[in-house]
Amino acid sequence: MTSPSLESRTTSEAGSKIIYAVLIAGVVVMLYPLVWMFMSSLKPEDEIFTNLSLVPSQATLENYPKGWNFLNAPFSLYFINSFIIAALAIVGNLLSCSITAYVFARLKFRWRNVWFALMLMGLMLPQHVTIIPQYILFNNAHLVNTIVPLILPKFLAVDSFFIFLMVQFIRAIPRELDEAATVDGAGPFRVFVDVILPLCKPALITVSIFTFVWTWNDFFSQLLYLTSGEKLTVPLALRMLSSSTGESTSTWGALFAMSCLSIIPLLLIFFFFQRRLVEGIATTGLKG
Amino acid sequence: MTRINKRQFLKFSGSAIAAGALASVLGPIGARAAGSLTVAWWGEGDQNKRTADAMTAFAKNSGISIDPQGTNFNGYFDRLATQIAGGNAPDVFQVYLASMAEYAKRGTLAPLDDYLGKTIDTTDWEDAAINSVSLDGTKFFVPLGLSTQPAIIYDKTVFDSVGVTDLNPNWTLDEFKETCLNVAKALSASGKKAYGCNDLGGQQTVLEAFVRSKGKNMFAEDGGLGFTKDDLAEWYTLWDEARGNGMAVPPEARKQGGFEASPIITGTAPIVQAASAKGLQGYQSLTKNDLNFNPWPRYSKDDERVELVTPIEWMVISANSDQKDEAAELLNFLTNDAAAIAAMGISHGVPVNKKLRQQVMDAGKLSDVERKIYQNTADALPYSTRPRVIYPAGSAPLVGPTTPLINLLNDQIAFKQIDVKTAVDRFFSEADRNL
Amino acid sequence: MTQELGAEKSQGKSLWVTARDKRAQTNGAAYAMLTPWLIGFFCLTAIPMLASLYLSFTDYSLLSPPEWVGLENYQYMFNGDYRFWPALNVTVFYVFVSVPLATVIALLVALGLNRQLRGVGILRSVYYLPSLLGGSVAVAIMWRELFDQNGLVNNVLGFFGIAGPAWLAVPNSAPWTLVFLHAWQFGSPMVIFLAALKQIPADLYEAAELDGANAVQKFFTLTLPLITPIIFFNVVMQMIVSFQAFTPAFVISNGTGAPLDSTLFYTLYLYIEGFGNFHMGYAAAMAWVLLAIIAALTGFAFLTARFWVFNPDD
């Protein structure tokens, strides 16, 4: 059962209606650019930048099959590739980041603050500089042109963003629950699995959503590590459709069409996951 | 006891891993596996598919398998440089003017003196192609096609609408200015403010055309600049005045973006430039108007018409490649085989092989845009007699593709942040620092 | 050993039972569970970071081995590179304007969406949708069209009688388009706030209501303090990430930082120097300067956290 909505029971009827109206109005601001992109995908190429109105003078669906079949394989291959990488990344992050966050949040151990600071420091160096040594490492291990360099780091808790996120969520869980389990004889690992993890659902959902979206959209590392045509992912394929030099016929319409399509899986994943977000934690947690 | 041992162990293994990893990270180890020929190139539109088709044709003809790594332009060089840093450079890869000298100077390219003229047959090549293969006396580069550079493109439909019919290819700089002003006035009369041409002050290849029209070169054989401060000052002043009197698009009227934001598409100005004649394809696909070429004007009535026909892209062989012979065969195929030309079409320019070029023009199967590009090259060849010095290593910050200084300075002048003299001085001092 | 424990105990922190064996066991368990992170940290983070630190003292083109040049990169950065300070300035501006803006909007919208409304799931998805787009080239084109001199934004402003600037054509207003882009994509912090709000136990609100608290009181005395750890997280993480913002500036300015370097974010400049101008050693130096700045600000944030972030452990 979903947790009771805590705000709406006491906000006045009028207050609720106003908030609702503002949210609906905000939708326009949120969606307008995307509506523009969708309408542009329905225009023929020589109209996209010359006809500035939202509505095409001669609407056409030609950009969709054009974009779908433009590269050597149908676009569905790139969706599948991206999906595989994103799914594996989610598994990796959920496993490694939660346990690492638990250790940082709950256990006192030597040099904890030092490691924590170093963990955060890892986030502060731009990717463009660290990716060269990383690439050399992976290349020496003959792992270039595989998805291993994109997935393995997720299983090794490289995403400090999620570790820190989960640390903050775990710290909000009352320590009495830990202690109750410890009194019953549980070691740190059991406390993690039996007590903390179930109470972290909102955080885990968030980690999953973000991992999926960010992996799906990650261009640079996928560019460097994936060279074969059949390994291409959605961001790489979309860039292949962008026309920056003008040295050949442009494919903007196809780019917009495929960009619109590539939002759909992300939207579905988000919509599906956010419903689980609605289920909050149980109220009196001592019963587990 | 247990803690101390564990600590010691962690310290030791930590530093061992660190030392080993650090060493391995700073340089590649091991050889690359032999096998198929890895070929990397960039392209957009149908360039990728066409080049891939050419590779397939070669694989079929020769039995040498190819591992294709075609990608779009943005990110191509990022990936290439990373691969070279990591030690797994592709056997054959594409380069262009802005950075080819850098790659050669740093030892990443295999000298082709043993191949050019032998495995790679150059007997039917255009002079412009043959003159572009060397740097400092060593041969490195195999041109994939020819084109004019830059290409000045004008919108014939717009010009017709104001009564200016076909521009004169022998026009002078003064006539160019006058035409632009007249067109600007005529177009603005109907209400929406328009101009004659785009602001070309920051375009390095147009500056080169200007410098060449005065009988000089962009770069000298010794690697320094081939023109003087006065030349650059004249150039910047030309555009400063142009922005002020309505001839060229002023900065506030610019639209940010790539070629899709160009004034010729938005209707702000009917004369623009493209990096090469192939750029006509990009512009033409975005507008229904009739676009055509006209060369950069002569410096004055007393000066000759000077044009530049040059390769736009070259292929090179990696210095570390262990399949150089096969790579040379591929390069010979791409430049001299009719099947390759049929596959590639215009994607890398007009064929370097004179005979093949003539064959294609005679066959008459070209599209409208392709025919214009071929004609443009044929028209320009007689005037493109002086070869050009390839942009030297270190020129990237000055005239390279990513935020070149020449463009930055032009913008600073346009926004009235500095004056022409300061800009010229700064350009030359940066040139001293880098070249 | 016991002295350590005594000192910690006197700070009022709750501890395990004081026994040396228990301590070793905790250390052991902690490090055992940290193993994945330790491996990842050493191989994939620490080593590359140290390598890049070394590279910052070299002239490295990526195409040939690095050559030691000592402090030359750093000297040029602070004393000769006229593009460095504008890049740093615009980045600082971007961080200190767009981070608070996005955080406030995200919190307000999360509060609004944290209730049972018809179609709230769809509303949440709509508000998150812009964040899904990441560094999409298509989004950049749309954004440029919107902020064109004659684009929709200026049309709307004109409706209210305001003459909008030429946005992306002029250096003064160009960075603002990027600020607005960041603010438009407030979905990520919003989702995190939603998760945090969901984590507040309902019985706390029931207890407050029994005490007679109204909506505003409940917000300021209950909700807000309880989510300060997440506010802290969002602000700090957004700051760290925004300082390294690259893709928005890259796609909107077409990789040029135009006009006049007004959208040349720090990391964009770093990228141009490293990959475009063959100065990867200089790029590494820039990266470490950035790290120092971010680390200092983050450290400062953590110090101030003591005063305003609610810590349930203490």
ipTM score of complex: 0.88
- For B258, which of A45, A136, A246 is closest by C-beta distance? A246
Mutate to test the interface with A, among B158, B286, B373, B402 (most CBs of A within 10 A): B286
- For B282, which of A133, A236, A248 is closest by C-beta distance? A248
Per DSSP, what are the bridge partners of residue B71?
Answer: B42
DSSP, collapsed to helix, strand or coil, labels residue C137 as helix
Mutate to test the interface with C, among A125, A136, A164, A178 (most CBs of C within 10 A): A125
Chains near A (3 or more Cβ pairs under 8 Å)? B, C
Confidence of residue C312 (pLDDT cuts 50, 70, 90): low
Measure Cα distances from A232 to A92, A147, A223, B40, C295 in Å: 21, 10, 8, 15, 36
**Does position C262 have pLDDT exceeding 90, yes or no?**
yes
Q: Contacts of residue C248 in chain B, CB cutoff 8 Å?
A: none
pLDDT given for residue A91 in this prediction: 96
Task: Say whether A245 and B73 touch across the interface (CB within 8 A).
Answer: yes
Question: How many Å lie between the alpha carbon of C303 and the closest alpha carbon of chain B?
Answer: 30
Buried b (16+ CB within 10 A) or exposed e, C283-298: bbbbbbbbbebbbebb
Distance CA(B216)–CA(B220), nearest Å, equals: 9
- Over residues A200-216, the pLDDT tens digits come to 888 898 899 999 999 99
- Over residues A60-98, the pLDDT tens digits come to 999 999 999 998 889 999 999 999 999 999 999 999 999
Q: What angle, 0 to 180 degrees and rounded to 10, lies between the N-to-C axes of helices C137-146 and A252-278?
A: 100
Distance CA(A262)–CA(A276), nearest Å, equals: 23
Give the gyration radius of chain B's Cα atoms.
24
Q: Looking at residues C94-106, what average pLDDT do you find? A: 96
Give the gyration radius of chain A's Cα atoms.
24
Per DSSP, what are the bridge partners of residue C68?
Answer: C58
Q: Contacts of residue A223 in chain B, CB cutoff 8 Å?
A: 71, 75, 78-79
Task: Say whether A139 and B44 touch across the interface (CB within 8 A).
Answer: no
Per-residue model confidence as pLDDT tens for chain B (435 residues): 444 455 555 555 555 555 555 444 444 433 344 578 999 999 998 999 999 999 999 999 999 999 999 999 988 999 999 999 999 999 999 999 988 999 999 999 999 999 998 999 999 999 999 999 999 899 999 999 999 999 999 999 999 999 888 789 999 999 999 999 999 999 999 888 999 999 999 999 999 999 999 999 999 988 899 999 999 999 999 999 999 999 999 998 998 888 999 999 999 999 999 999 999 999 999 999 999 999 999 999 999 999 999 999 999 999 999 999 999 999 999 999 999 999 999 999 999 999 999 999 999 899 999 999 999 999 999 999 998 999 998 898 899 887 899 999 999 999 999 999 999 999 999 999 888
